[in-house]
Chain A
Amino acid sequence: MKTVKHKILVLSGKGGVGKSTFSAHLAHGLAEDENTQIALLDIDICGPSIPKIMGLEGEQVHQSGSGWSPVYMEDNLGVMSVGFLLSSPDDAVIWRGPKKNGMIKQFLRDVDWGEVDYLIVDTPPGTSDEHLSVVQYLAAAHIDGAVIITTPQEVSLQDVRKEINFCRKVKLPIIGVVENMSGFICPKCKKESQIFPPTTGGAELMCKDLEVPLLGRVPLDPLIGKNCDKGQSFLIDAPDSPATLAYRSIIQKIQEFCNLRQSEEENLISS
């Protein structure tokens, strides 16, 4: 972990809000700069979606003298997931907590990431073993912060408030919240509708109440799902989509946060 400059956790109390989709596109977006080295770690042991979303299904992990090699999507984008360790797409990882924790420890300790500018950790939904473990194991190595994903409905926000409280309890800085699936623009008539209505004020109100930054809102675009199924970058496939513009703005804010933290630390050290 010493060779990793910035570590970002992508969290949500709620399942199915787009954590993996977001993690993958954060990785794609940052990796567009060839000089930036990106690592994407998928610690969702039961539902490892990252290999599919990154178009890396069926890839194998190799062991070398310096540890496990991540699977490289581009020269500057390496990926690790338990998905790569399973021999069949039907294999279920039916593990209890301690075994999952062991795997996460191995991922963090034994993967030879090399020199990395950004490590993005995609997490499973909830607040359980995996989350406690990753925060504990990375605590010494200093996590820049967490990006929390939600959708506009109260049923998501309910879980996300818990996640924010979890972050505060374990003293994990919160970079901000992303409201995903925020509005839908019909590809035919171009009019907007709300598929997941923000009945209680959406992420905006929650962020205001809990004093957490709202990094942005990403609208639903059917091309996102299609690209994830094909394992392609939606940012490249649909560069003019309002969703792409939203993603890019959010990615920029995350970079700014990380750079600010870095210069704050450097100031602290030099003073």
Chain B
Amino acid sequence: MEAAAAEPGNLAGVRHIILVLSGKGGVGKSTISTELALALHHAGKKVGILDVDLCGPSIPRMLGAQGRAVHQCDRGWAPVFLDREQSISLMSVGFLLEKPDEAVVWRGPKKNALIKQFVSDVAWGELDFLVVDTPPGTSDEHMATVEALRPYQPLGALVVTTPQAVSVGDVRRELTFCRKTGLRVMGIVENMSGFTCPHCAECISVFSRGGGEELARLAGVPFLGSVPLDPELTRSLEEGHDFIQEFPGSPAFAALSSIAQKILDTTPMCLP
């Protein structure tokens, strides 16, 4: 009976896939991916995070999962579960590195092969959302990720920028990448959007201002929101805490929850 049906693959149980992209490095893709996953999880969803940044896999540390071992099960690799209820899971190349200071210095074809494996061989099980964190750019890894995920019809891409024109300049190219590869842009998130001085409470535009909204307007895509700079957020992520639980009063928390809610509001949640 089983032999007659086509192999559904390990992503068959995943309801919605969101890619987090940016043309620009260091704008906070991994931070936003992690916080989005946590926000969706807090809203009661079962979430997985796939970190395909082979050169700079930051997510294990952010979620306090560094050094966890990855095991094979009969359906492929078992993702690392971050909670007892197994409602939030993670897979990252970071788990496969024997020495965390070892550089993954691979050329394109080898990276493509690993990404293909990551996408198809992780036994995610049933998930409401899979958030896919990507490295910066528009190259091998991105093409491989989009191609590997295409049969599963991702919900779309969340594109992250900072307010400066230099970021916007790179992120415009990422939007072209999305258009060319047929990936729907769910919206733009502007990160590092202002800093409130803890001494005098003045709000300062450390990295310029206005870029995110301008980009959304230029590209005709929704502007999902701005996330301000919050050093407590950085500290918390560095130390792998559950930030959303620890800092409900943070300005960043409000912004991220609002973004997660917008995604939930526009996502078809009815059961097939």
Contact = CB atoms under 8 A, between A and B. Distances in A.
Interface of A: 13-17, 20, 45-47, 49, 52-53, 89-98, 100, 124-129, 131-132, 153-155, 158-159, 161-163, 165-166, 169, 184, 186-189, 191, 193-197, 199-200, 220, 222, 225-226, 228-229
A191 B199 contact: yes
Contacts of B26: 14-17, 125
Nearest to B53: A126
A186 B101 contact: no
A186 B177 CA distance: 38
A91 B176 contact: yes
Contact of B101 (A15, A46, A165): A165
A195 B166 contact: no
B107 to A, nearest CB: 5
Nearest to A187: B204
Contacts of A161: 100-101
Contact of B208 (A96, A159, A225): A225
Interface of B: 23-27, 30, 55-56, 58, 61-62, 100-109, 111, 135-140, 142-143, 162, 164-166, 169-170, 172-177, 180-181, 195, 197-200, 202, 204-208, 229, 231, 234-235, 237-239
Contact of A155 (B58, B180, B231): B58
B66 to A, nearest CB: 9
Given A154-B238, A226-B208, 10 more contacts: A13-B56, A49-B170, A132-B105, A161-B101, A184-B195, A188-B202, A189-B200, A191-B197, A195-B206, A225-B164
A196 B31 CA distance: 13
A163 B103 contact: yes
A254 B199 CA distance: 36
Contact of A229 (B55, B165, B238): B165
Contact of A131 (B105, B176, B181): B105
A94 B139 contact: yes
A90 B172 contact: yes
Contacts of A196: 231, 234
B174 A225 contact: no
Nearest to A222: B206
Contact of A189 (B107, B197, B231, B235): B197
A193 B229 CA distance: 12
A199 to B, nearest CB: 4
B86 to A, nearest CB: 26
4 tightest A-B contacts by CB? A16-B26, A15-B25, A97-B108, A162-B103
A47 B229 contact: no
A46 B173 contact: yes
A92 B177 contact: yes
Nearest to A162: B103
B58 A16 contact: no
Contacts of B143: 94, 96
B259 to A, nearest CB: 20
20 contacts: A13-B55, A14-B26, A90-B172, A94-B142, A94-B181, A125-B56, A128-B105, A128-B108, A155-B30, A162-B56, A162-B103, A188-B197, A189-B200, A191-B197, A191-B200, A193-B198, A195-B195, A196-B231, A225-B208, A228-B164
Contacts of B100: 158, 161
Contact of B140 (A49, A92, A96, A195): A96
A132 B138 contact: no
A264 B138 CA distance: 42
A139 B27 CA distance: 32
B109 A97 contact: yes
Contact of B25 (A16, A94, A162, A189): A16
A89 B207 CA distance: 21
A204 to B, nearest CB: 16
Contact of A199 (B101, B108, B235): B235
A166 B200 contact: no
Nearest to B211: A229
